[in-house]
């Protein structure tokens, strides 16, 4: 397809790179890969960018491709910013066939109420596949909303751990030193910014309180409950400036 039909290249920026001294440009586009190995399944990996134009046409094209490939399960993997502290284990919320996912290590499926509000047009893919009786799963990592990183390696590691549990991937796939180094740098810089430190402490208290309530209800260790969107705290200008500097620093070290 012609990616410019669907994507705004001022929002998804093309990438310039060099290969053997020759300059190339990679234009943002949907990406499709296939893998076969010592697993119970064959795998098709699709990087689906959210379209800025002609979304219905884009989604129909994806559905036609998945029908041609005769898929049995559609597992959508993503991340979003939420009111969670970087000093606690990250949350991965999971659903299976539209219901909270249970019994998967590292996944929190319980919700106090169904979500209502703005969402991604890409959810239409799962909805349409479910009507065709194709199994659908969604795994969404919750990342600290006050940190702006080009790539959150802790979130990557958490998601790979969950996928390793689901699909019996080798555990070394999820091993990385960059995730701890990234968050350790954030904690060190946070000590110099009292407003940021105060924000994180409030998020920690909320996180711990929710985990404590859930453990009392279940009588055993369990994953923390998903924070509510209304807990998001507006950031003062000085904090915004700090996070901008930290994001730039993280990009340089990525």
Domains, the chain: 72-252 (3.40.50)
What parts of the chain have a pLDDT lower than 50? 221-240, 242-243, 246-254
pLDDT at position 116 is: 83
pLDDT at position 211 is: 72
pLDDT at position 239 is: 46
pLDDT at position 102 is: 86
pLDDT at position 252 is: 43
- For residues 238, 243, 249, 254, the Cα torsion angle rounded to the nearest 10 degrees is 180
> Would you tell me the crossing angle of helices 178-190 and 237-252 to the nearest 10 degrees?
150
pLDDT at position 247 is: 45
pTM greater than 0.85 (yes/no): no
Instruction: Count Cβ atoms below 10 Å from residue 96 Cβ, excluding itself.
Output: 19
CB neighbour class for 194 (10 Å; exposed up to 12, middle 13-18, buried from 19) = exposed
pLDDT at position 37 is: 65
């Amino acid at each position: 397809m012609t990616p410019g039909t669907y994507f705004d290249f001022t929002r998804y920026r093309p990438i310039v790179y060099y290969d053997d001294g020759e300059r190339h440009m990679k234009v943002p586009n949907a990406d499709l890969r296939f893998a076969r190995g010592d697993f119970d399944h064959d795998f098709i990996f699709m990087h689906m960018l959210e379209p800025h134009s002609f979304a219905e046409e884009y989604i129909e094209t994806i559905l036609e491709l998945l029908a041609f490939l005769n898929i049995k399960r559609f597992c959508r993997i993503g991340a979003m910013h939420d009111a969670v502290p970087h000093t606690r284990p990250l949350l991965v919320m999971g659903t299976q066939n539209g219901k909270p996912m249970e019994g998967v290590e590292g996944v929190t499926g319980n919700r106090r109420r169904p979500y209502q509000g703005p969402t991604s047009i890409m959810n239409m893919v799962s909805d349409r596949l479910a009507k065709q009786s194709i199994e659908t799963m969604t795994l969404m990592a919750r990342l600290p909303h006050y940190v702006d990183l080009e790539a959150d390696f802790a979130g990557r590691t958490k998601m790979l751990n969950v996928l390793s549990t689901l699909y019996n991937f080798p555990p070394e796939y999820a091993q990385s030193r960059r995730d701890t180094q990234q968050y350790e740098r954030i904690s060190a810089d946070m000590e110099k910014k009292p407003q940021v430190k105060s924000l994180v402490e409030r998020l920690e208290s909320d996180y711990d309180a929710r985990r404590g309530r859930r453990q009392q209800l279940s009588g055993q260790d369990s994953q923390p409950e998903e924070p509510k969107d209304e807990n998001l705290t507006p950031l003062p200008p000085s904090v915004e400036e700090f996070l901008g500097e930290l994001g730039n620093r993280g990009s340089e070290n990525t």
